[in-house]
């Protein structure tokens, strides 16, 4: 859809969400509106509520851990996208058991990571644990439970080498830190995402990320730590053509809307997601580089959004303090 259609559908979804939720949570409303709009769907609170009831009240599918209400909505949308909600719930619970077998400790993070595990694949769970342990060796205090969903997403390829991938993550992190990216968990997420298509370090990707941030700054768009993972996806999706002019144009259209008053950071996140999704869809249709990772990128959007509500993008205290001295 073009920008005008995107904005129209976004506003319609946002207003529906506002009316259903009472407008109490700005981040949740923008998150759901963006999800539904990019998926070209119309928000229905009744449908989401029925799904939430399935995993909070139905004894056939008891979740091992209770999610906060924001992530209940987001999980419901994720399950809705799977088509058969009952089957998706069963798969989620079984995958969580596999992650437990791989020695991941129980938490909301592990449950959300189970969404991205290859169904019934214990070897995938073990690869994810291996990568997590390697990351913990190299960035011990920066690595936390919030990284569990990421390591699951990053180890879908059975041929990945966790040790080399962990080294690449550290190298991306340190190189971007030198280029004035703020330290902490969002930068760690950015570095991790860059290893998704290829686990080897790639200086071209680093330069692409730096260029995107600088071009946004020249367009007078403020980039926050919140945006780092989205920038990583954009760098992977767009290659040398950063699409900044398209993002800037849509961003400026969005901030003219009343719902983005005092919420410009969400406007930039929405613009990046829309432009990157369009680019990935085109690559998928034309079978260009990265098209085979289209579903993985879609999963990453979901993953980034989940982690907004369980600590990934808020100050990480000790990890940031210790990283400063590293």
Question: pLDDT for 29-42, tens place per residue?
Answer: 999 999 999 989 99
More confident residue, 303 or 150: 150
% the chain with pLDDT above 90: 53
For position 300, what pLDDT does the model report?
A: 72
For position 242, what pLDDT does the model report?
A: 66
Classified as helix, coil or strand, 68 is coil
For position 63, what pLDDT does the model report?
A: 79
Segment holding 52, helix H or strand E = helix 45-57
Tokens of 117: 């595990």
Section 63-88 average pLDDT: 86
Section 275-287 average pLDDT: 67
Statement: residue 58 has pLDDT above 90: no
Tokens of 257: 């809307």
Statement: residue 246 has pLDDT above 60: yes
For position 61, what pLDDT does the model report?
A: 65
% the chain with pLDDT above 70: 85
The model's confidence at residue 307, banded by pLDDT at 50, 70 and 90, is: low
Statement: residue 308 has pLDDT above 80: no
8 Å CB contact between 90 and 130? no
Segment holding 297, helix H or strand E = helix 294-308
8 Å CB contact between 114 and 82? no
Section 276-302 average pLDDT: 61
Statement: residue 321 has pLDDT above 90: no
Statement: residue 317 has pLDDT above 50: no
pLDDT tens-digit series, residues 82-94: 888 889 888 999 9
Classified as helix, coil or strand, 141 is coil
pLDDT tens-digit series, residues 185-210: 899 999 999 998 888 899 999 999 99
For position 283, what pLDDT does the model report?
A: 58
The model's confidence at residue 315, banded by pLDDT at 50, 70 and 90, is: very low
8 Å CB contact between 124 and 155? yes
More confident residue, 85 or 298: 85
8 Å CB contact between 185 and 144? yes
State the Cα–Cα distance between residues 319 and 326, nearest whole angstrom: 10
Q: Cα dihedral sign for 97, 103, 104, 106?
A: positive
Statement: residue 297 has pLDDT above 70: no
Q: Cα dihedral sign for 218, 223, 227, 229?
A: positive
pLDDT tens-digit series, residues 216-244: 999 999 999 989 998 998 888 776 666 89
Query: Of the ranges 95-104, 170-179, 231-240, which one carries the lowest mean pLDDT score?
Result: 231-240
């Amino acid at each position: 859809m073009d920008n005008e259609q995107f904005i129209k559908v976004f506003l319609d979804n946002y207003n529906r969400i506002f009316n259903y939720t009472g407008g109490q949570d700005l981040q949740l409303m923008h998150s759901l509106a963006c999800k539904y709009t990019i998926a070209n769907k119309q928000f229905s609170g009744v449908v989401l509520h029925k799904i939430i009831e399935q995993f909070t009240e139905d004894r056939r599918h008891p979740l091992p851990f209770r999610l906060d209400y924001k992530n209940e909505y987001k999980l419901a949308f994720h399950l809705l996208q799977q088509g058969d909600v009952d089957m998706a719930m069963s798969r989620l619970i079984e995958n969580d058991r596999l992650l437990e077998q791989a020695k991941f400790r129980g938490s909301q993070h592990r449950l959300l990571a189970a969404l991205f595990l290859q169904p019934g694949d214990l070897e995938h769970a073990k690869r994810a644990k291996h990568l997590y342990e390697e990351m913990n060796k190299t960035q011990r205090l920066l690595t936390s439970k919030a990284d569990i969903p990421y390591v699951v997403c990053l180890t879908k390829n059975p041929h990945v080498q966790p040790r080399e991938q962990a080294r690449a993550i550290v190298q991306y992190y340190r190189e971007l830190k030198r280029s004035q990216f703020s330290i902490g968990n969002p930068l760690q997420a950015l570095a991790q995402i860059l290893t998704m298509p290829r686990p080897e370090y790639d200086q071209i990707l680093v330069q692409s990320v730096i260029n995107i941030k600088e071009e946004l700054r020249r367009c007078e768009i403020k980039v926050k730590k919140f945006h780092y993972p989205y920038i990583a996806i954009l760098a992977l999706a767009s290659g040398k053509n950063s699409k900044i002019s398209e993002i800037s144009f849509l961003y400026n259209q969005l901030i003219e809307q009343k719902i983005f008053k005092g919420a410009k950071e969400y406007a930039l996140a929405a613009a990046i997601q829309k432009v990157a999704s369009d680019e990935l869809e085109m690559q998928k249709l034309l079978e260009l580089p990265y098209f085979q990772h289209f579903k993985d990128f879609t999963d990453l959007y979901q993953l980034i959004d989940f982690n907004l509500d369980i600590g990934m993008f808020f100050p990480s205290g000790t990890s940031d303090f210790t990283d400063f001295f590293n």
